[in-house]
Amino acid sequence: LQKRGTPRWKRVLGWTGPVPRPRHGHRAVSIKELMVVFGGGNEGIVDELHVYNTATNQWFIPAVRGDIPPGCAAYGFVCDGTRLLVFGGMVEYGKYSNELYELQASRWEWKRLKAKPPKKGPPPCPRLGHSFSLIGSRCFLFGGLANDSEDPKNNIPRYLNDLYCLELRPGSTVVSWEIPPTSGPAPPPRESHTAVMASRGGVSRLIIYGGMNGCRLGDLWVLDIGEAPQSRGPGWSRTLTWFQMFRMCAASCLSVSPSPDWFLS
């Protein structure tokens, strides 16, 4: 018998509406009972926006308008109320983006945002495989993979471990990048990692796990945001227990760097 409260997987069948074609490298966010799916790769970069209604088991394609972005894969996707933000990703073979788009789901309208650059330092470079996490009114961008070649067909990969904060203003399209000062050793460069926000006792933390930088990684890092002194900004700290637990079996090195077309196949 199934115990009450035990999580149970169930494959969803019998849906109706225009079903998305198979893909990978896409992203999804939820707005109440809706799951919004955008982008990904399937014999090229997908530019479709699909919405799944979990209450009615129906897919639909909203009639979007405005500054509709190109398709992208391995990008950042967050939801702030009914406002969705898309940053970066692969837009074509070997070509990465650092564009920022907003989708207002209340009217399905896209808008390209021009974020103010940091007061000190350059804005984020084009990248894919980064994490983009919303904590309060701030989005934290970490890491990813850049292509240092001017020719997209000649991939020169560069793994990143930079940290940016996108300051959002409620009810406004005015946004700005900041480079928060940090203390402690930062995580090694990586892409395709996971990042989640956790809060306990009024303290927010950004938790980063794994990824790839030529080797598959199994380390765990915590960015303490709420506990850091105001004068110094957030600081990185390593969660030693998890790092030691996965360290023995984490490294699985690749003989070659990942191809920039792995989302296209």
Tell me the pLDDT tens digit for each residue of 62-109: 999 999 999 999 999 999 999 999 999 999 988 999 999 999 999 999
The Cα–Cα gap between 64 and 51 comes to: 12
pLDDT at 164 over 90: yes
The stretch 16-29 carries a mean pLDDT of: 94
Matching residue, tokens 């406002």: 83
Q: What is the dihedral of CA 253, 255, 257, 258, to 10 degrees?
A: -80
The Cα–Cα gap between 49 and 64 comes to: 9
Question: How does residue 3 score in pLDDT terms, banded at 50, 70 and 90?
Answer: low
The Cα–Cα gap between 76 and 211 comes to: 15
pLDDT at 32 over 90: yes
The Cα–Cα gap between 50 and 45 comes to: 15
pLDDT of residue 230: 40
CATH of 27-253, one of 2.120.10.80, 2.60.40.420, 3.40.50.620, 1.10.486.10: 2.120.10.80
The stretch 209-222 carries a mean pLDDT of: 92
The stretch 42-49 carries a mean pLDDT of: 90
Per DSSP (E only), the strands in 109-175 are 109-113, 131-135, 138-147, 157-167
pLDDT of residue 258: 54
Mean pLDDT of the chain: 84
- Among 3-7, 19-23, 175-179, where is mean pLDDT lowest? 3-7
Q: Which are the contacts of 65, defined by CB distance < 8 A and separation ≥ 6?
A: 108, 109, 110
* pTM score: 0.85
CA quadruple 70, 75, 76, 80: dihedral sign: positive
Query: What are the tens digits of pLDDT across the range 104-150?
Result: 999 999 999 999 999 889 999 999 999 999 988 889 999 999 999 98
